[in-house]
Amino acid sequence: MSDNKKRIKLQRYQWPDEILAKKKARRKRIINIIIVIVLIFAAISGGYFLGTFTTSRLVSNGSNNTSKLSLVLDMMKDQWYFADEVDNVEETLLDQALLGMTTFEVDPHTSYMTSQEIEDFFASIDNDFVGIGVRVRNYDTYLVVDSVFKNSPAEESGLVAGDIIFSVDGELVSDHEYEDVVNMIKGEANTKVSLGIMRDDERISIDVIRQQVNTTVDGQMLDENIAYVELSSFGELTCDQLITYLDEFEAQGANKLLLDLRNDGGGHLGSVVDIGGLFIDKDEVILEQEAADGTILQYVSEGKRHYDYDEIVILVNESTASAAEVLTLALKQQVDNVTIVGTTTYGKGTIQTTVYLSDGSALKYTTSKWNAPDGTNINNVGIVPDVIVEIPEIISSPYYDMEDGITIAYDSVNIITIQLQKALIYLGYNVDREDGYFDLSTEEALKAFESDNGLNVDGILDKNDNEKIFMAVSEKWALDESDVQKNAALDILLEE
Protein backbone atom coordinates (compact mmCIF):
# COMPACT_ATOMS: atom_id res chain seq x y z
CA MET A 1 0.00 0.00 0.00
CA SER A 2 1.36 3.49 -0.87
CA ASP A 3 2.32 5.99 1.84
CA ASN A 4 -0.68 8.23 1.18
CA LYS A 5 -3.19 5.43 1.72
CA LYS A 6 -4.50 4.07 4.97
CA ARG A 7 -7.23 1.56 5.70
CA ILE A 8 -10.04 2.40 8.05
CA LYS A 9 -13.07 0.49 9.23
CA LEU A 10 -15.81 3.10 9.18
CA GLN A 11 -16.43 6.79 8.67
CA ARG A 12 -19.99 7.98 8.28
CA TYR A 13 -21.19 10.45 5.68
CA GLN A 14 -24.63 11.24 4.38
CA TRP A 15 -25.42 10.56 0.75
CA PRO A 16 -27.73 12.97 -1.10
CA ASP A 17 -31.31 12.53 -2.07
CA GLU A 18 -31.28 13.42 -5.75
CA ILE A 19 -34.80 14.81 -5.56
CA LEU A 20 -33.68 17.69 -3.36
CA ALA A 21 -31.61 19.19 -6.18
CA LYS A 22 -34.80 19.60 -8.17
CA LYS A 23 -36.68 21.03 -5.22
CA LYS A 24 -34.19 23.86 -4.68
CA ALA A 25 -35.36 25.73 -7.75
CA ARG A 26 -38.93 25.99 -6.48
CA ARG A 27 -38.47 26.18 -2.69
CA LYS A 28 -41.44 27.95 -1.08
CA ARG A 29 -40.69 27.57 2.63
CA ILE A 30 -39.00 30.55 4.33
CA ILE A 31 -37.20 30.19 7.67
CA ASN A 32 -34.97 32.22 9.94
CA ILE A 33 -31.34 31.79 8.90
CA ILE A 34 -29.59 34.85 10.31
CA ILE A 35 -27.41 32.69 12.55
CA VAL A 36 -26.56 30.55 9.54
CA ILE A 37 -24.94 33.52 7.83
CA VAL A 38 -22.94 34.22 10.95
CA LEU A 39 -21.69 30.63 11.04
CA ILE A 40 -20.75 30.48 7.39
CA PHE A 41 -19.20 33.87 6.93
CA ALA A 42 -17.80 34.27 10.44
CA ALA A 43 -19.20 37.43 12.04
CA ILE A 44 -21.29 40.06 10.27
CA SER A 45 -20.62 43.48 11.77
CA GLY A 46 -23.50 45.48 13.19
CA GLY A 47 -22.79 48.45 10.92
CA TYR A 48 -23.65 48.60 7.24
CA PHE A 49 -21.76 50.67 4.66
CA LEU A 50 -24.54 52.56 2.91
CA GLY A 51 -22.69 55.47 1.34
CA THR A 52 -24.50 58.53 0.06
CA PHE A 53 -28.11 58.15 -1.05
CA THR A 54 -28.21 59.18 -4.71
CA THR A 55 -29.72 57.79 -7.88
CA SER A 56 -26.33 56.66 -9.14
CA ARG A 57 -23.58 56.14 -6.61
CA LEU A 58 -20.50 54.28 -5.60
CA VAL A 59 -20.59 52.76 -2.12
CA SER A 60 -17.81 51.29 -0.06
CA ASN A 61 -18.03 47.64 0.82
CA GLY A 62 -15.22 47.77 3.35
CA SER A 63 -12.21 45.54 3.24
CA ASN A 64 -13.72 42.09 2.91
CA ASN A 65 -16.45 40.08 1.24
CA THR A 66 -18.42 39.74 4.48
CA SER A 67 -18.91 43.52 4.47
CA LYS A 68 -20.01 43.32 0.84
CA LEU A 69 -22.68 40.79 1.77
CA SER A 70 -23.84 42.94 4.69
CA LEU A 71 -23.94 46.02 2.49
CA VAL A 72 -26.07 44.46 -0.24
CA LEU A 73 -28.37 42.85 2.31
CA ASP A 74 -28.93 46.15 4.09
CA MET A 75 -29.53 48.09 0.89
CA MET A 76 -32.01 45.54 -0.43
CA LYS A 77 -33.82 45.34 2.88
CA ASP A 78 -34.07 49.08 3.49
CA GLN A 79 -34.04 50.71 0.05
CA TRP A 80 -35.36 48.16 -2.44
CA TYR A 81 -38.63 49.43 -3.87
CA PHE A 82 -40.42 46.04 -3.65
CA ALA A 83 -39.13 45.09 -0.20
CA ASP A 84 -42.51 45.66 1.41
CA GLU A 85 -44.09 43.17 -0.99
CA VAL A 86 -41.89 40.29 0.22
CA ASP A 87 -42.79 38.52 3.44
CA ASN A 88 -39.90 38.38 5.92
CA VAL A 89 -37.72 40.16 3.41
CA GLU A 90 -34.44 39.89 5.34
CA GLU A 91 -34.84 36.17 5.88
CA THR A 92 -35.82 35.68 2.26
CA LEU A 93 -32.77 37.57 1.01
CA LEU A 94 -30.44 35.57 3.23
CA ASP A 95 -32.09 32.33 2.11
CA GLN A 96 -31.58 33.26 -1.54
CA ALA A 97 -27.96 34.17 -0.85
CA LEU A 98 -27.28 30.74 0.62
CA LEU A 99 -29.02 29.05 -2.27
CA GLY A 100 -26.85 30.97 -4.68
CA MET A 101 -23.67 30.04 -2.85
CA THR A 102 -24.53 26.35 -2.91
CA THR A 103 -25.87 26.05 -6.46
CA PHE A 104 -23.30 24.89 -9.00
CA GLU A 105 -23.64 23.21 -12.37
CA VAL A 106 -20.35 21.43 -11.70
CA ASP A 107 -21.67 19.97 -8.41
CA PRO A 108 -25.44 19.45 -8.18
CA HIS A 109 -25.02 17.52 -4.92
CA THR A 110 -23.90 20.49 -2.81
CA SER A 111 -26.85 22.35 -1.35
CA TYR A 112 -28.21 24.37 1.52
CA MET A 113 -31.29 22.78 3.08
CA THR A 114 -33.87 24.18 5.43
CA SER A 115 -34.64 22.36 8.67
CA GLN A 116 -37.71 20.76 7.09
CA GLU A 117 -35.77 19.67 4.03
CA ILE A 118 -32.98 18.07 6.03
CA GLU A 119 -35.60 16.23 8.09
CA ASP A 120 -37.30 15.01 4.91
CA PHE A 121 -33.91 14.11 3.45
CA PHE A 122 -33.02 11.67 6.19
CA ALA A 123 -36.56 10.36 6.42
CA SER A 124 -36.36 9.49 2.72
CA ILE A 125 -33.06 7.65 3.18
CA ASP A 126 -34.30 5.65 6.15
CA ASN A 127 -37.76 5.30 4.62
CA ASP A 128 -38.93 6.40 8.04
CA PHE A 129 -42.17 8.33 7.87
CA VAL A 130 -45.83 8.30 8.74
CA GLY A 131 -47.74 7.18 5.67
CA ILE A 132 -49.26 4.15 4.01
CA GLY A 133 -46.24 2.17 2.73
CA VAL A 134 -46.22 2.16 -1.06
CA ARG A 135 -43.77 3.01 -3.82
CA VAL A 136 -45.36 4.91 -6.70
CA ARG A 137 -44.57 6.12 -10.20
CA ASN A 138 -45.65 9.63 -11.14
CA TYR A 139 -47.53 10.14 -14.40
CA ASP A 140 -48.52 13.78 -13.68
CA THR A 141 -52.24 13.07 -13.71
CA TYR A 142 -52.05 9.75 -11.83
CA LEU A 143 -49.84 7.86 -9.42
CA VAL A 144 -49.28 4.19 -10.19
CA VAL A 145 -48.50 1.86 -7.30
CA ASP A 146 -45.27 0.05 -8.16
CA SER A 147 -44.99 -1.94 -4.95
CA VAL A 148 -46.64 -2.31 -1.56
CA PHE A 149 -44.45 -2.76 1.52
CA LYS A 150 -44.96 -5.88 3.56
CA ASN A 151 -47.03 -5.48 6.73
CA SER A 152 -47.80 -1.89 5.81
CA PRO A 153 -51.11 -0.03 6.19
CA ALA A 154 -51.48 -0.14 2.40
CA GLU A 155 -51.16 -3.94 2.34
CA GLU A 156 -53.64 -4.31 5.18
CA SER A 157 -56.12 -2.08 3.32
CA GLY A 158 -55.89 -4.12 0.12
CA LEU A 159 -53.80 -1.88 -2.14
CA VAL A 160 -51.86 -3.85 -4.74
CA ALA A 161 -49.19 -3.14 -7.34
CA GLY A 162 -50.75 -1.75 -10.50
CA ASP A 163 -53.43 0.27 -8.70
CA ILE A 164 -53.81 3.75 -10.16
CA ILE A 165 -54.35 6.54 -7.63
CA PHE A 166 -56.39 9.34 -9.19
CA SER A 167 -57.56 11.16 -6.07
CA VAL A 168 -56.60 11.73 -2.43
CA ASP A 169 -59.34 12.69 0.01
CA GLY A 170 -61.47 13.79 -2.92
CA GLU A 171 -58.73 15.96 -4.46
CA LEU A 172 -57.74 14.96 -8.00
CA VAL A 173 -54.08 14.07 -8.41
CA SER A 174 -54.09 15.97 -11.71
CA ASP A 175 -54.81 19.23 -9.86
CA HIS A 176 -51.64 19.10 -7.74
CA GLU A 177 -47.88 18.86 -8.04
CA TYR A 178 -46.39 15.42 -7.36
CA GLU A 179 -44.71 16.46 -4.11
CA ASP A 180 -47.95 17.98 -2.84
CA VAL A 181 -49.83 14.75 -3.58
CA VAL A 182 -47.22 12.72 -1.67
CA ASN A 183 -47.61 15.06 1.29
CA MET A 184 -51.38 14.70 1.09
CA ILE A 185 -51.02 10.92 1.35
CA LYS A 186 -48.69 11.25 4.32
CA GLY A 187 -49.99 12.69 7.56
CA GLU A 188 -50.33 12.06 11.25
CA ALA A 189 -50.32 8.54 12.61
CA ASN A 190 -53.72 6.88 13.16
CA THR A 191 -55.47 9.24 10.75
CA LYS A 192 -57.36 8.13 7.66
CA VAL A 193 -56.67 8.94 4.04
CA SER A 194 -59.18 8.04 1.33
CA LEU A 195 -57.68 7.07 -2.02
CA GLY A 196 -59.54 7.01 -5.30
CA ILE A 197 -58.28 3.94 -7.14
CA MET A 198 -58.70 2.72 -10.71
CA ARG A 199 -58.47 -1.07 -10.90
CA ASP A 200 -59.82 -3.60 -13.39
CA ASP A 201 -61.81 -1.02 -15.33
CA GLU A 202 -63.58 0.32 -12.26
CA ARG A 203 -63.13 3.13 -9.79
CA ILE A 204 -63.10 2.25 -6.12
CA SER A 205 -62.34 4.05 -2.88
CA ILE A 206 -59.91 2.59 -0.35
CA ASP A 207 -59.45 4.02 3.12
CA VAL A 208 -56.01 3.60 4.69
CA ILE A 209 -55.03 4.38 8.27
CA ARG A 210 -51.64 6.07 8.29
CA GLN A 211 -48.97 4.53 10.49
CA GLN A 212 -45.23 4.78 11.03
CA VAL A 213 -43.41 3.08 8.15
CA ASN A 214 -39.75 2.13 8.36
CA THR A 215 -38.53 -0.44 5.89
CA THR A 216 -35.85 -0.28 3.21
CA VAL A 217 -35.69 -4.01 2.44
CA ASP A 218 -38.12 -6.40 0.80
CA GLY A 219 -37.53 -9.96 -0.32
CA GLN A 220 -38.82 -13.46 -1.01
CA MET A 221 -37.75 -16.85 -2.28
CA LEU A 222 -38.33 -17.06 -6.04
CA ASP A 223 -37.24 -20.65 -6.42
CA GLU A 224 -36.15 -23.41 -4.12
CA ASN A 225 -32.64 -21.95 -4.13
CA ILE A 226 -32.97 -18.36 -5.44
CA ALA A 227 -33.45 -15.53 -2.97
CA TYR A 228 -34.70 -12.12 -4.13
CA VAL A 229 -33.87 -8.97 -2.14
CA GLU A 230 -34.80 -5.39 -3.01
CA LEU A 231 -33.08 -2.44 -1.30
CA SER A 232 -34.87 0.88 -1.68
CA SER A 233 -32.11 2.88 0.08
CA PHE A 234 -29.19 2.53 2.46
CA GLY A 235 -30.67 3.66 5.77
CA GLU A 236 -29.49 3.32 9.33
CA LEU A 237 -31.42 0.06 9.80
CA THR A 238 -31.02 -1.39 6.31
CA CYS A 239 -28.19 -3.76 7.19
CA ASP A 240 -30.06 -5.21 10.17
CA GLN A 241 -33.23 -5.59 8.08
CA LEU A 242 -31.23 -7.28 5.32
CA ILE A 243 -29.63 -9.74 7.76
CA THR A 244 -33.10 -10.79 8.91
CA TYR A 245 -34.04 -11.67 5.33
CA LEU A 246 -30.73 -13.35 4.50
CA ASP A 247 -30.87 -15.53 7.62
CA GLU A 248 -34.38 -16.62 6.67
CA PHE A 249 -33.37 -17.39 3.09
CA GLU A 250 -30.27 -19.25 4.22
CA ALA A 251 -32.44 -21.48 6.41
CA GLN A 252 -34.57 -22.23 3.33
CA GLY A 253 -31.54 -23.35 1.31
CA ALA A 254 -30.89 -20.28 -0.86
CA ASN A 255 -27.56 -20.50 -2.69
CA LYS A 256 -28.18 -17.84 -5.36
CA LEU A 257 -29.11 -14.20 -4.86
CA LEU A 258 -30.96 -11.68 -7.02
CA LEU A 259 -30.19 -8.24 -5.57
CA ASP A 260 -32.49 -5.50 -6.88
CA LEU A 261 -30.96 -2.02 -6.62
CA ARG A 262 -33.16 -0.37 -9.24
CA ASN A 263 -34.39 3.08 -8.18
CA ASP A 264 -32.13 2.95 -5.10
CA GLY A 265 -30.75 6.47 -4.82
CA GLY A 266 -28.21 5.70 -2.09
CA GLY A 267 -27.97 6.59 1.58
CA HIS A 268 -25.47 6.41 4.41
CA LEU A 269 -21.88 5.47 3.68
CA GLY A 270 -21.71 3.46 6.90
CA SER A 271 -24.67 1.41 5.74
CA VAL A 272 -23.13 0.43 2.41
CA VAL A 273 -19.85 -0.49 4.15
CA ASP A 274 -21.75 -2.72 6.59
CA ILE A 275 -23.78 -4.34 3.81
CA GLY A 276 -20.76 -4.85 1.58
CA GLY A 277 -19.10 -6.60 4.50
CA LEU A 278 -21.85 -9.24 4.47
CA PHE A 279 -20.60 -10.55 1.11
CA ILE A 280 -16.96 -9.41 0.81
CA ASP A 281 -14.15 -11.20 2.65
CA LYS A 282 -12.66 -9.62 5.76
CA ASP A 283 -10.17 -6.78 5.12
CA GLU A 284 -10.98 -6.64 1.41
CA VAL A 285 -11.61 -3.11 0.09
CA ILE A 286 -15.21 -2.00 -0.39
CA LEU A 287 -14.46 1.50 -1.66
CA GLU A 288 -11.87 4.23 -1.61
CA GLN A 289 -12.44 7.82 -0.56
CA GLU A 290 -10.18 10.28 -2.39
CA ALA A 291 -9.75 13.80 -1.00
CA ALA A 292 -8.91 16.87 -3.07
CA ASP A 293 -5.23 16.60 -2.08
CA GLY A 294 -5.05 13.02 -3.37
CA THR A 295 -5.14 11.34 0.04
CA ILE A 296 -7.02 8.04 -0.13
CA LEU A 297 -8.85 6.26 2.67
CA GLN A 298 -9.86 2.66 2.07
CA TYR A 299 -13.01 1.24 3.62
CA VAL A 300 -12.70 -2.48 4.18
CA SER A 301 -14.94 -5.35 5.16
CA GLU A 302 -15.04 -6.10 8.87
CA GLY A 303 -16.20 -9.63 8.12
CA LYS A 304 -18.44 -9.86 11.19
CA ARG A 305 -21.03 -11.88 9.25
CA HIS A 306 -20.63 -13.48 5.86
CA TYR A 307 -23.06 -14.93 3.33
CA ASP A 308 -21.78 -17.07 0.47
CA TYR A 309 -23.71 -17.50 -2.78
CA ASP A 310 -22.84 -19.56 -5.80
CA GLU A 311 -24.02 -16.69 -7.98
CA ILE A 312 -25.26 -13.14 -7.52
CA VAL A 313 -27.12 -11.06 -10.10
CA ILE A 314 -27.55 -7.35 -9.43
CA LEU A 315 -30.38 -5.39 -11.06
CA VAL A 316 -29.67 -1.70 -11.79
CA ASN A 317 -31.17 1.15 -13.80
CA GLU A 318 -30.68 4.85 -14.47
CA SER A 319 -31.95 5.68 -10.97
CA THR A 320 -29.43 3.41 -9.23
CA ALA A 321 -27.10 5.94 -7.64
CA SER A 322 -24.55 6.75 -5.02
CA ALA A 323 -24.28 4.05 -2.32
CA ALA A 324 -26.12 1.62 -4.58
CA GLU A 325 -23.40 2.10 -7.18
CA VAL A 326 -20.74 1.61 -4.50
CA LEU A 327 -22.21 -1.77 -3.54
CA THR A 328 -22.65 -2.81 -7.18
CA LEU A 329 -18.99 -2.21 -8.07
CA ALA A 330 -17.68 -3.61 -4.78
CA LEU A 331 -19.52 -6.90 -5.28
CA LYS A 332 -18.60 -7.06 -8.96
CA GLN A 333 -14.89 -6.58 -8.25
CA GLN A 334 -14.52 -8.46 -4.96
CA VAL A 335 -16.94 -11.40 -5.22
CA ASP A 336 -16.87 -14.23 -7.75
CA ASN A 337 -19.77 -14.94 -10.12
CA VAL A 338 -21.47 -11.53 -9.99
CA THR A 339 -23.43 -10.33 -13.05
CA ILE A 340 -24.95 -6.85 -13.45
CA VAL A 341 -28.21 -6.62 -15.42
CA GLY A 342 -30.32 -3.63 -16.48
CA THR A 343 -29.44 -0.17 -17.78
CA THR A 344 -26.54 2.22 -17.13
CA THR A 345 -26.66 3.66 -13.63
CA TYR A 346 -26.92 7.31 -12.59
CA GLY A 347 -23.21 7.98 -12.13
CA LYS A 348 -22.64 9.69 -8.80
CA GLY A 349 -19.06 9.26 -7.66
CA THR A 350 -18.79 11.94 -4.98
CA ILE A 351 -19.20 12.01 -1.20
CA GLN A 352 -21.02 14.69 0.76
CA THR A 353 -20.93 15.59 4.43
CA THR A 354 -23.68 17.42 6.27
CA VAL A 355 -23.06 20.26 8.72
CA TYR A 356 -26.00 21.23 10.90
CA LEU A 357 -26.50 24.91 11.63
CA SER A 358 -27.94 26.36 14.80
CA ASP A 359 -31.45 26.92 13.45
CA GLY A 360 -31.82 23.31 12.32
CA SER A 361 -30.93 23.93 8.68
CA ALA A 362 -27.89 22.30 7.13
CA LEU A 363 -25.15 22.66 4.56
CA LYS A 364 -24.56 19.50 2.56
CA TYR A 365 -21.39 19.82 0.54
CA THR A 366 -19.02 17.64 -1.45
CA THR A 367 -15.83 16.76 0.41
CA SER A 368 -14.32 14.03 -1.75
CA LYS A 369 -15.01 11.41 -4.37
CA TRP A 370 -15.32 7.67 -3.99
CA ASN A 371 -13.64 5.06 -6.12
CA ALA A 372 -14.29 1.37 -6.65
CA PRO A 373 -11.81 -1.12 -5.14
CA ASP A 374 -9.75 -0.99 -8.33
CA GLY A 375 -9.67 2.84 -8.27
CA THR A 376 -12.37 3.40 -10.90
CA ASN A 377 -14.55 6.50 -10.49
CA ILE A 378 -17.95 6.52 -12.20
CA ASN A 379 -19.00 10.14 -11.59
CA ASN A 380 -21.13 11.41 -14.50
CA VAL A 381 -20.50 8.09 -16.27
CA GLY A 382 -22.34 5.39 -14.36
CA ILE A 383 -21.95 1.63 -14.41
CA VAL A 384 -22.65 -0.15 -17.69
CA PRO A 385 -24.30 -3.52 -16.93
CA ASP A 386 -22.85 -6.81 -18.16
CA VAL A 387 -26.25 -7.54 -19.68
CA ILE A 388 -28.21 -4.52 -20.93
CA VAL A 389 -32.00 -4.90 -20.74
CA GLU A 390 -34.17 -1.89 -21.52
CA ILE A 391 -37.71 -1.55 -20.25
CA PRO A 392 -40.47 -0.69 -22.76
CA GLU A 393 -40.47 2.97 -23.71
CA ILE A 394 -44.16 3.29 -22.87
CA ILE A 395 -43.21 2.57 -19.25
CA SER A 396 -40.17 4.81 -19.03
CA SER A 397 -41.74 7.82 -20.80
CA PRO A 398 -44.27 10.36 -19.47
CA TYR A 399 -47.89 9.46 -20.17
CA TYR A 400 -49.99 12.34 -21.52
CA ASP A 401 -53.57 12.84 -20.41
CA MET A 402 -56.28 14.24 -22.70
CA GLU A 403 -58.78 16.98 -21.98
CA ASP A 404 -62.50 16.39 -22.20
CA GLY A 405 -63.90 16.99 -25.67
CA ILE A 406 -60.57 16.50 -27.46
CA THR A 407 -60.37 13.64 -29.98
CA ILE A 408 -57.64 12.28 -32.25
CA ALA A 409 -58.50 10.30 -35.35
CA TYR A 410 -57.33 8.89 -38.67
CA ASP A 411 -55.03 10.94 -40.91
CA SER A 412 -53.78 13.25 -38.17
CA VAL A 413 -50.42 13.79 -36.47
CA ASN A 414 -50.16 14.20 -32.71
CA ILE A 415 -47.66 13.48 -29.94
CA ILE A 416 -50.34 11.56 -28.06
CA THR A 417 -50.68 9.30 -31.10
CA ILE A 418 -47.06 8.21 -30.56
CA GLN A 419 -48.05 7.29 -27.03
CA LEU A 420 -51.14 5.47 -28.31
CA GLN A 421 -49.14 3.48 -30.85
CA LYS A 422 -46.48 2.43 -28.33
CA ALA A 423 -49.14 1.47 -25.78
CA LEU A 424 -51.13 -0.61 -28.23
CA ILE A 425 -48.00 -2.43 -29.39
CA TYR A 426 -47.07 -3.09 -25.75
CA LEU A 427 -50.54 -4.51 -25.17
CA GLY A 428 -50.14 -6.87 -28.12
CA TYR A 429 -52.08 -5.09 -30.87
CA ASN A 430 -50.74 -4.75 -34.42
CA VAL A 431 -49.63 -1.23 -35.30
CA ASP A 432 -47.36 -0.51 -38.27
CA ARG A 433 -45.75 2.70 -37.05
CA GLU A 434 -44.78 4.71 -33.94
CA ASP A 435 -44.17 8.16 -35.40
CA GLY A 436 -47.42 9.90 -34.39
CA TYR A 437 -49.19 9.63 -37.73
CA PHE A 438 -52.64 8.12 -37.14
CA ASP A 439 -52.76 5.59 -39.98
CA LEU A 440 -55.22 2.79 -40.73
CA SER A 441 -53.29 0.23 -38.68
CA THR A 442 -53.51 2.54 -35.65
CA GLU A 443 -57.24 2.98 -36.19
CA GLU A 444 -57.84 -0.77 -36.50
CA ALA A 445 -55.73 -1.53 -33.43
CA LEU A 446 -57.62 1.08 -31.42
CA LYS A 447 -60.95 -0.40 -32.57
CA ALA A 448 -59.78 -3.82 -31.44
CA PHE A 449 -58.84 -2.44 -28.02
CA GLU A 450 -62.18 -0.63 -27.74
CA SER A 451 -64.03 -3.84 -28.61
CA ASP A 452 -62.01 -5.91 -26.13
CA ASN A 453 -62.70 -3.44 -23.33
CA GLY A 454 -66.37 -2.64 -23.84
CA LEU A 455 -65.80 0.85 -25.22
CA ASN A 456 -67.50 2.65 -28.09
CA VAL A 457 -65.90 1.09 -31.17
CA ASP A 458 -65.17 4.02 -33.48
CA GLY A 459 -61.38 4.07 -33.78
CA ILE A 460 -61.29 7.64 -32.46
CA LEU A 461 -59.13 8.31 -29.42
CA ASP A 462 -60.79 10.36 -26.66
CA LYS A 463 -60.11 10.95 -22.99
CA ASN A 464 -61.93 7.79 -21.90
CA ASP A 465 -60.07 5.58 -24.40
CA ASN A 466 -56.75 7.13 -23.38
CA GLU A 467 -57.46 6.52 -19.70
CA LYS A 468 -58.46 2.89 -20.31
CA ILE A 469 -55.29 2.27 -22.32
CA PHE A 470 -53.19 3.80 -19.55
CA MET A 471 -54.88 1.53 -17.00
CA ALA A 472 -54.27 -1.52 -19.17
CA VAL A 473 -50.59 -0.67 -19.62
CA SER A 474 -50.12 -0.08 -15.88
CA GLU A 475 -51.86 -3.31 -14.92
CA LYS A 476 -49.81 -5.33 -17.39
CA TRP A 477 -46.55 -3.78 -16.19
CA ALA A 478 -47.44 -4.66 -12.58
CA LEU A 479 -47.45 -8.37 -13.46
CA ASP A 480 -44.29 -10.25 -12.55
CA GLU A 481 -43.98 -11.67 -16.04
CA SER A 482 -43.81 -8.14 -17.48
CA ASP A 483 -40.63 -7.20 -15.61
CA VAL A 484 -38.22 -7.92 -18.45
CA GLN A 485 -35.14 -6.96 -16.45
CA LYS A 486 -36.01 -9.18 -13.51
CA ASN A 487 -36.86 -12.05 -15.82
CA ALA A 488 -33.55 -11.68 -17.64
CA ALA A 489 -31.77 -11.82 -14.30
CA LEU A 490 -33.71 -14.93 -13.33
CA ASP A 491 -32.78 -16.62 -16.60
CA ILE A 492 -29.12 -16.16 -15.71
CA LEU A 493 -29.59 -17.62 -12.25
CA LEU A 494 -31.60 -20.56 -13.58
CA GLU A 495 -28.91 -21.57 -16.04
CA GLU A 496 -27.14 -24.75 -15.02
Are 473 and 368 in the same domain? no
In a domain, 493, yes or no: no
pLDDT at 142: 86
Same domain, 93 and 137: no
Q: Domain check: are 364 and 449 in the same one?
A: no
pLDDT of 164-188, one tens digit each? 999 999 999 989 988 899 889 988 8
The residue range of the domain holding 67 is: 18-50+61-122
Mark whether 458 and 423 lie in a shared domain. Answer: yes
- The verdict on residue 485 lying in a domain is no
Domain count, the chain: 4
In a domain, residue 399? The reply is yes
Q: What is the CATH number of the domain that holds 235?
A: 3.90.226.10
Look at residue 300 in the predicted model and tell me its pLDDT: 98
* Cα–Cα distance measured from residue 253 to residue 195, given in angstroms and rounded to the nearest whole number: 40
Question: What pLDDT was estimated at residue 126?
Answer: 74
Residues 42 and 137 in one domain: no
Q: What is the model's pLDDT at position 6?
A: 45
Residue 215 pLDDT: 82
Q: Splitting the chain (496 residues) into consecutive groups of 10 residues, what average pLDDT does each group show?
A: 43 38 40 30 29 39 66 87 88 84 86 85 76 83 84 91 92 90 90 93 92 87 95 93 95 97 93 97 97 95 94 97 97 98 97 87 90 97 98 90 94 96 98 97 98 97 95 89 96 90
379 is a domain residue:
yes
pLDDT confidence of residue 130: 82
Shared domain for 423 and 474, answered yes or no, is yes
| Residue 278 is assigned to a structural domain of this protein | yes
Specify whether 246 is located in the same domain as 345.
yes
- Do residues 327 and 259 share a domain? yes
**pLDDT of res. 22:** 44
Q: Would you say residue 55 lies in a domain?
A: no
pLDDT reported for residue 109: 87
pLDDT of residue 25: 42
In a domain, residue 56? The reply is: no
- Indicate the pTM of the whole model: 0.75
22 in the same domain as 115 = yes
| Whether residue 409 sits in one domain with residue 469 | yes
| 234 shares its domain with 339 | yes
- Residue 8 covered by a domain: no
Same domain, 256 and 361: yes
Around Cβ 406, how many Cβ atoms within 10 Å?
A: 12
| The domain boundary residue, chosen from 392, 417, 444 | 392
Residue 451: give its domain's CATH number. Answer: 1.10.101.10
pLDDT of residue 140: 67
Looking at 392, 411, 439, which one is the last position of a domain? 392
